[in-house]
Structures are given as C-alpha cells and as structure tokens.
Amino acid sequence: MKVVTLLEKLRNRINKELPKKTLIGDININDAEFAFLIDYFKRRFKMMTTSDLRCISDPLLAVALVQIGIKYYDGNYWSHVDDILGIKLNPSTHRRWLGESFILTLKKNGKYIFDETEKVNSILFHCFVSDYYSRGLFEFLFDYYRIDLERDLTRNTKDAMLALMETIKRKSELSDREADNEIYGNASSRAYRLRKHTLIAIGAFPIPGRVKMRRMLRLIDRCFWEQLKPKNPVSRLTKRFNEWQDESDSFKSEYERTYRSGGYSNGRKRFSSPYIFCSLREVCFNLILPAQLIKEEDYPGLVWEVCTDKQAYTIDAITYQAVTSLKTEKAEMPIDHAELFGEITVVLKNYDRIVRKFPKIEPDNIRFFDKDGDFSYKLILGEMYAFTKINETPISAALIDNEPVGAFVRSYFDFQEGDLVILPGNKSMAVGESYSEGLMQRGLMKNSYVYKETEEIQIFNNPPTLLLTIAASRLAGTSVEINNKRYNLLDNRVTLFDILNRSDNKGILLYLDEWECEKDGIYQIVVDVPNDRKIRNWKYALINGFSIEFEDAPYIFEQRATITFSESHKVKPLTDDIESIRGENSFNFSISENDYIVFEVETNEYSLKIYTIVPVLKWSLDNELWRIMEPKDIWHTDFPNKVYFKFPENKLRLSMDESIEDYVENEDEIRERVYDKNKTLGIFECDLTRFKSWLDRDRIVHYVYFSSGSRIKPFMKVFSKSVISNYLIKADFNQNILIGEFDIIGQAEYFVDITFLHDRTNIAIKQPIINGRVESICDLRSGLYQIVIFEVDQDESGFGGIVYLPLDTYEQDLINPNDLSGKSLNLRCIKKMSDNNVNLLFNTDYSIANLRKIDNNSYTGQMNILTPFGGRPAPFKVRIEFPDLNNLTRIVVAFWDDEEEGWLEFLYDSKWRAIVKKEDAKLRRGEKYRRYSVIYPDEFIYYVTIN
C-alpha cells in the first residue's frame, strides 16, 4: 500500500472531475485546497524557469491559473500573479509560458478555447465570473428580475429566457465600454461591471448558461419574497450570492420600496392582464393597464384601446428600455360607476395592428376585491370586499358588515375554508369553487374529536350550518331527523340557492341553531330524500365557546409543548404526565409517541372525553417507528427511498441544497418536491427516489430541508465522502493505554497514525480502526498527540492495489487527571445520556479556569463567559466533576448559590442556546416550561476541550 498525499488526492479529484465540467472554474476548490494549488503553482513556475520544458499540459496548473482569476481578478490579472510569485513576470517569456501551457491543457482535455491569442481572456472565460465581478452579474440579473419580470418568476418563460440569452449574446459582441454604457446607468454599478468574458461564457454554452441563470434567479426570488438564503452553501457562486444580497443597495431599496407600499400582497401577487382596482377608502375604481414587454419594432404609435359597454377610450403607451427589450409603463384610467358591472375589453395596438389582446373582464352583478383593493374572480381566504347595486346584498356566514356607499352596497367578508356566498340573482360561489355537502367548517375544531365507542366525532364550538344539495323536484318530500326527532325540510327556516354549473340541483342551508341544536351535546342528523339512495348522515359534538390553543405550535424537533383551553370550561387531563400550570387553564406536557393527548371536558349537561392531535412534526422511515428529533447524519448509500411525515398541514416541501454550478439534464429542474397529505391515512408518504439522483459524490455533504409555509428547517445531512462527525481521544494513565473513539460517516476501511509531538515518537502506524475504536499500549506522558486518520481506496493509477487517503488530522492535549494546574476547560455542548442524538449547543463561549482539586475527581474553578455580542459578565465560582478519569472531555458542572448556600445545576435556555442560573421571571409558565431544561447530572453530561 502507498500513502497518498493531500496534493495527490487533489490531483486525482481534478483529473476525475475535469472531463465532466464545462468550465474549469466549475471545479469546487476549498481554501485548504487553494493553498495546496498555490504552493504547487510556485514550484511548477520555478521548474519552468530552470528547465527547457516551457510549455506543458498540466490540469493542476490550469486549475491554479483559473482559481487565481476567480479569487483576485478585479480588472487586472497578471499583477496578482506577480504578487503570488513575488516577482514581476516578463510578458514575452513568463506570461507567454503560462498562457501557452493553459491553452495546451485545454486542447489536450477537449475544453473550449476562447481565443488562442488572448491568453488572459481564455483563463478568465473558464472562471465564468470572478468573485469581484460576481456582484455585477447578480446586479444584472436583479435588474432583469425587477424590471422585465416585475419580481414574478412565473413570467420567466422559455421565451423570456431566450430573450435574456439573446441580450447577453448581443452585449458580448460589444466592447467593454459599450456594454457598460448599455447595462449600467451609474458609476457605482459600473465598478462591478459584467465583464465581456462572462457574457461570452454564458452564450458559448446555452444550456449550462440558462441553468446558471435560472438558478440565480430562483435564489433572488426566494430571498426577495420568502427571505430564504441558502444555508451551509458549498458552491462558490452560492456563497457570493449570499454576500451580494447582504450588501446590495439596489436589492435593499427595492425590497423596502415593495414592502413599504404593500406590493407584496400575499407574497408575490403580480398582474400581466388589465384588472380593476378599487380605492377602498374613497370608493373609486380604476382600470389598471400593467406594464408589458414589447419588441422594438412594435414601438411606434403604441396605444391602449379600452372598450366598456358605454364607450371606447384610447391611451398613449409610454415605453422605456428594460434589460431584454422595451417595456410600457403601467397606465390606469378611471371607471365610471355605470361601467363597473359591464364588459371591459383591452388591446394594445401599434396603429391599426393589434400587438397584444387580453382576456376580457366579463359582465357581472357583483365585483369582488381583496383587502388591497385588487379585483378577484374567485373567493379567497381572509378579508374580501364586494360591491353590488343597491338592494342586491349578498348572503354569507362570512359577511361581517355591509353599508350603502353612493350607488353601491359595500360588503365586508372574512372567509374561511368551506364558506360560500349567495349572490344577487340567487346564484352562489364557494371558497375554492367546490360545494361539499355536509356540515360547513365554521366553528369546526380541527384535529379535536370526541370518541364514542369506536366512532370519531368532530367538535364544533358554535352551532354549525348544514349544506345540502338536492334536486328541486325532491325538496317537498325531504325529511330531517335530529336525535330521533323528525321534521319536514321546508317546515323550518332554510335558505335555497342555485349552485354554480349545476342547474338541476338546489343548494339548501340549514342553520342548526334554529333546529333546536343550540345546547352542548352530541347530535346526529339524518336526511331522507325521496327516491335518492345517497346516505346523508352526520354526527357532531357541540361545546359552545370551547377553544384549544397550542402555544408556539407547530412543534418541529421539539420535545415539550403547552396546551391552553378556554377559561370558561373545566378541563381535566386523563394521563399522569401532564402538568397543570397554576392560575391558568393551561397544561405542559412532554411530546410522546402518541399522536394525541386526552382530556375530559365538563359542559353544562355533559362530560366529554376529548382527543386532541398534537401539532408536531413526526417522521419515520418505515411508517411504524415515529421520531420527533432530527435524524442522524447518514451515508449516501443509506439514503432512504421513502420518508413518512405526520404534520398539521396539507402540503409540505422537501428540498436539497443546489449549487449554481451543478449540472442537470433538465435546465428547469428544481431540486425540491411538494407532497400532499394522504387525508385518509393522515400522513405524508414522500418518495425520495429523485433525491438520490441529486446526490453528487464530488461534494462532501448535502442538506435536505423540510419546509411548510414560511417555516424551513434542515432535516437531513447526507454525506457523500467519509467524514469524522465526532471523535474522542482519551488516556488511561494507570494502564498506559491511549484510546481513540471515532464516529465516522462512511463505509471504507479506516486506519490511524498516532504521534507524540513533543519528541515525534510514533505510537501507532496504520493501526486499523475497528468498530470506531483504537487502543494503543504505550508509555503515556502528558502532552500533545497527533492523530492522522486514513481511509483505504482503490489505486486509480491503473496498476491495481489500494492506497491510504488522508481523511483528517487531530491534535489532542492529554493530561494526567491528577494534575490540572494551569489548564482550562472550554464547554463544547451538552448531551443527553439516554439519547446521544440530543445535542444542546451553545451560542456563547464558556471557559473554566483556575482549577483547584477538591478530591479524586472533583475541582473548583472560575467560569468565564463571552456572549455573542462581545459581553463579558463577571466570572463566578463553579464545581466540576469527572465521571470517568480516563475521559477528561466529559464533566458535570454546578454553580454556587449564596441564597441556597449550596451547589446548584444550571438551566439550559433553548432560545438563546445558553446556560443560565435562573429563569426569566417575566415569561409565562408555559414558555418557561418549553424554554428551560434543568441540566441534572444523572440525565446530562457536558463535553469540553482542555487547553
């Protein structure tokens, strides 16, 4: 076997990746590898100057030249090379040798050559864009995003992308000065201008170029609307994007302007077709003519032509230059009250030729608007307004208020799922346009049930409304039975209406509080329709005024929860592990494997057993064993085919970190999948097959994220290369045994070299790690030990055999536990003894100094604290104990309390990731319960490093 150096390991990786990459700069190089490359570059250049071989094909040298451009190019390339080499390069010899070697390497490896006579531009071409000028690229794309796409990525169609690529191609044919003047309008933008070689690199490879553009635009879009930036970025351009977004004045000003003006409207509302806008306060209406991208040949004589059922209007269209083409300014015109309910048509014309025709606004006797005043054809959840003619008032349980305003009636709604509106003319509309026969959802307590024998009965906190759909000819003979009491349907108050697109059926609303169903209890309703075999049978429990709230829910990777009930109801938990909060109708509890918690609720006439589903994220790999904490880090070959979730939403999204440089066959593919809940089973079944194809062995780690709504959490960490996730070096000074324990994510064979650095004594050479452990008998001394870990791999030289690849190097100061004078302990984390997956991390630095021995395994010391904000609270006295003297990295800590006159355990504050002496007295009891954990010595252990 041979030992491969880190430089050889890097060379092997570059040779392996080079054929797969379009540009040499797409090979990711980390800081440590860059240092190796620069060292190699210096030695290679020295060989050029001292030998007759001036021009060579060398991928390592080519990558070094490109990486220098990536990191340092700011308008000048060779001056940075001079600085690295420490000499002034001769243009006719030194620069020519390096440039010709680069071109030769490109030829030998079949890579694109920008221009053989332009050596620097050929190098810069393979950089794609330097770190310095990446800001110009992001500014250019942000201009396209905000001007051409109006911050709406759905407008980035195939035609729009082709127009963008055509613009890039056209600008690449201009001089740098001409391109600057076209793209940028101010000096500060020009300081980070988009360089010609970047434009050419995008245009030379259209598919990879479009992939990069789309991915950058997706990053911009998510960051703008969802405030989501890539976490733990690996690729260079993704890192540069994060930096640009933090520093970009144009991004910040556009963001502030959009959100200050309320333009965000549900996240990303944008209109491409004309629509009606209502100023809700003044009650005046305008037709909005949104901005349009047009071809330059359509520019002369461009006008808007608007026709209402009263008259025609012509409005001049004003244009300005966008990134890819011309664009019309947004225009608007007032709509007279007499025109509001009529038909409106709009076309954009160039003299007599129609440039663009838009869908017409159909005539109607009601106009709906959202809370911002924008016209809507559909009913949406939340606030809405409607305008009708006088004496034509809509009917709905969602109706909050209506009032006459001039020639109209203005109605205000607050829509919930399942609501409907009966319109003037007896027609109707439903939220979501679906009519679901049965109990309407207003007052429904979702995820809470009464169980009667084996039957699950839904709960309402006010008398519900029953929706029926019955043929008009059968209404007269229909009967309703409520708790064995029979009624004729039409004898009591009902509301009849027409159902949209169902001319044969009538809709019927039964307000059950008017059918003697207003008291607490369980009700069963059976509807019998003549000559109709459909079973209409519903059962529900009514607890008037009852409410349930889980504080700070949903619970994602959390172990504790708090539930609060309405004050007017007496509630009793039916399990012993639920803790009542004094003075409140609230309870704390630990989240268990059960999906629900059980309480008994006393009403005026009944005592009901309530089952309430806890809004927590649970996951499983087999749909049997369910977990609530994050999964362990996994090896890529162990990546599951499926994962199951329980979560109180109907949709969730899983995504994988994606680098701008990653190659995919489908340029439109986004590395995410959206899953719908199986409502019958109440779970999500997520197929991860596609995710497996996204696992790139060239990257060390991939992150899978869980998201729902605006919440996003890292879910799974997947390693594609061997990684030491945790290690422990300890010594048994009594037995003279050095022990290493390693948590290795990977499936290779692993070996260690161990050296005592004081005199370079070799303790172990290529000793195998067996089951994550090595033991070496040696003459142990206090001091610094070096441990080098290797993994075994196949020799790719073509001669067979295996090689040792260096994986990681650690240095550990081992101390005789009988003498810790002069040492200090730095707290790393806290772990739960019963579950090693529970890691309590710190955002604050803690160190314990001035150690004084009390007995065989106990010391006192001084706790020093450095907060994330630079604060240094006064040091205080602590006591530490070593449960195992052979492992000094695990301790128990307590602090001295003057009031109690004794040693007390710290509390862990999960919000600030810190240890504290006492709870914040201002917090409510439920929040204290979820936020603080006592670090009991029989449950938790502190992990430290010794200095």
What pLDDT, in 10s, does the model give residues 259-307? 765 544 434 456 788 999 999 988 999 999 998 888 776 667 899 999 9
Q: What is the mean pLDDT of residues 358-384?
A: 93
Query: 174 versus 281: which is more confidently predicted?
Result: 281
Q: Provide the β-strand partners of residue 863.
A: 848, 876
Winning range, highest mean pLDDT, from 196-200, 257-261, 650-654, 923-927: 650-654
Q: What is the mean pLDDT of residues 393-413?
A: 93
Q: What is the spatial distance between Cα 164 and Cα 159, in angstroms, rounded to a whole number?
A: 9
Q: What is the mean pLDDT of residues 79-96?
A: 92
Contact status, residue 702 vs residue 695, Cβ threshold 8 Å:
yes
The per-residue pLDDT for 802 is 78
The per-residue pLDDT for 482 is 96
Residue 232's pLDDT band (cuts 50, 70, 90):
confident
Residue 661's pLDDT band (cuts 50, 70, 90):
low
Is the pLDDT at 668 greater than 60? The verdict is: no
Over the stretch 470-507, which tens digit does the pLDDT of each residue have?
Answer: 998 899 899 999 999 999 998 888 899 988 666 678 89
Pairing verdict, β 465-471 and 438-439:
antiparallel
Q: What is the mean pLDDT of residues 856-884?
A: 92
Mean per-residue pLDDT over the chain, rounded: 87
Over the stretch 449-478, which tens digit does the pLDDT of each residue have?
Answer: 998 878 899 999 999 999 999 998 899 899
Q: What is the spatial distance between Cα 723 and Cα 748, in angstroms, rounded to a whole number?
A: 11
Q: What is the mean pLDDT of residues 423-431?
A: 86
Handedness of CA 161, 165, 170, 172 (dihedral sign): positive
- The residue type of 571 is V
Name, in order, each residue with C-beta under 8 angstroms of 425's C-beta and a sequence gap of 6 or more: 365
The per-residue pLDDT for 184 is 42
Q: What is the mean pLDDT of residues 529-558?
A: 93
Over the stretch 559-576, which tens digit does the pLDDT of each residue have?
Answer: 999 999 999 999 999 987
Q: What is the 3-state secondary structure (H, E, C) of 469-500?
A: EEEHHHCCCCEEEECCEEEEHHHCCEEEEEEC
| CA 551 to chain CA mean position, Å | 23
Query: 186 versus 315: which is more confidently predicted?
Result: 315
Is the pLDDT at 2 greater than 70? The verdict is: no
Burial class (CB in 10 A: 0-12, 13-18, 19+), 824: middle
Q: What is the separation, in whole angstroms, between the first and last Cα of the chain?
A: 37
Q: What is the mean pLDDT of residues 547-559?
A: 93
Contact status, residue 415 vs residue 382, Cβ threshold 8 Å:
yes
* SS3 at position 908: strand
Name, in order, each residue with C-beta under 8 angstroms of 584's C-beta and a sequence gap of 6 or more: 564, 924, 925, 926
Q: What is the spatial distance between Cα 444 and Cα 542, in angstroms, rounded to a whole number?
A: 9
Please report which helix (H) or strand (E) contains residue 403, including its range.
strand 399-405
The per-residue pLDDT for 351 is 84
One-character DSSP codes across 293-344 = EE-GGG-TTEEEEEEESS-EEEEEPPEEE-SSSEEEPPEEEEE-GGGTTS-E
In degrees, to the nearest 5, what angle opens at C-alpha 70 toward C-alphas 64 and 74? Answer: 125
The per-residue pLDDT for 267 is 43
Q: What is the 3-state secondary structure (H, E, C) of 650-673?
A: CEEEEEECCCCCCCCCCCCCCCEE
Kindly report which listed range (116-125, 148-157, 420-429, 780-789) carries the lowest average pLDDT score. 148-157
Q: Give the pair of three-digit tokens for residue 397.
A: 């349980």
Q: What is the spatial distance between Cα 126 and Cα 113, in angstroms, rounded to a whole number?
A: 9
**H helices within 505-560, ranges in order?**
none
Is the pLDDT at 665 greater than 60? The verdict is: no
The per-residue pLDDT for 114 is 86
Is the pLDDT at 676 greater than 90? The verdict is: yes
Q: What is the mean pLDDT of residues 417-427?
A: 88
* SS3 at position 531: coil
Counts of helices then strands in the chain (DSSP H, E): 16, 61
The per-residue pLDDT for 864 is 96
Q: What is the spatial distance between Cα 26 and Cα 10, in angstroms, rounded to a whole number?
A: 15
Backbone angles phi, psi at 847, to 5 degrees: -135, 145
Domains of the chain (ranges; CATH) run 2-127 (no CATH), 134-260 (no CATH), 275-421 (no CATH), 435-540 (2.60.40), 548-613 (no CATH), 618-719 (no CATH), 723-811 (2.60.40), 825-946 (no CATH)
Residue 720's pLDDT band (cuts 50, 70, 90):
confident
Q: pLDDT over 90 for what percent of the chain?
A: 52
Please report which helix (H) or strand (E) contains residue 430, including its range.
strand 428-430
Residue 543's pLDDT band (cuts 50, 70, 90):
very high
The per-residue pLDDT for 799 is 55
Report pTM.
0.73
The per-residue pLDDT for 424 is 84
Query: 668 versus 87: which is more confidently predicted?
Result: 87
Is the pLDDT at 373 greater than 80? The verdict is: yes
